[in-house]
Amino acid sequence: MQTEKAVLFDLDGTLWDSSREVLLCWNRVLSPLGRKISPEELARLMGLTPKEIGDREFPDLPPQERQALTKRCLDAEAPYLHTRGARLYPGVRQTLRELKKRYFIGLVSNCTEDYAEAFLHAHGLRALFDDVETAGRTGLGKGENIALVLKRNQIKKAVYAGDTVMDLAAARAAGIPFLFASWGFGQAEGPYPAVDSFTMLPEAVSTVLDTDSFWAG
């Protein structure tokens, strides 16, 4: 059965801000090694795939070692977040419930599978998402994972909400419109709608998905 319309979400910087918790987890791993990551460095890593994170943060290490250290840092996040959660942006829960009444709701992130599961569990949001895909599970880029979700759910129309230029590029690669979450971590340039708060999403989504002229344009 074909799903008519879907709203797909990025995670970090769009649905929640886990930067404080992730910083703590990373430095618990790095401190015994004489290393430390700053909040500014962490912010630059948000939205990247695990390989991209390792290449950017640990360029002094051989490839195998940098990926192993990145995995240790990433693996430390999920157990902590699973029970403690992080800061949901205002209106996330209520707005997702409102959107789900009309649309298929998906999560597509460059995080690990366990990290996405920690988000869903800690905040009791599992029932609000119809599908979840991560780079940690598939090894694919975000654009490819968006396309994967669209294909396996036979989605006809969709929009991707994210907060970085990488999210914009992923939406373009998958051939769907983009909504820029201006409250997030990054910036994106281009002819796309920007949304100033999560609670404004239903109106913006309706403009994108329910207006044929916008879709055709």
> Can you give the residue ranges of every domain in the chain?
3-17+87-216, 19-84
Indicate the residue type of 58: F
2 band by pLDDT with thresholds 50, 70 and 90: very low
Length of the chain: 217
C-beta separation of 67 from 24 below 8 A: no
Cα distance between residue 45 and residue 57, in whole Å: 8
How distant, in Å, are the alpha carbons of 30, 33, 58, 177 from that of 3? 45, 49, 42, 17
Residue 129 has pLDDT above 60, yes or no: yes
Of 34-48, 56-70, 85-99, 140-154, minimum mean pLDDT range: 34-48
pTM tops 0.75: yes
Sort strands 3-9 and 131-134 into parallel, antiparallel or unpaired. unpaired
The confidence band for 133, taking pLDDT boundaries of 50, 70 and 90, is very high
Query: The tokens of 81 are what?
Result: 């977040």
**pLDDT(215) > 90:** no
Flag whether pLDDT at 85 surpasses 60: yes
pLDDT of residue 188: 66
Q: pLDDT tens for residues 11-68?
A: 999 999 999 999 999 999 999 999 999 999 998 888 788 889 999 999 999 999 999 9
Average predicted confidence (pLDDT) for the chain = 92
Report the CATH architecture of 3-17+87-216.
Answer: 3-Layer(aba) Sandwich (3.40)
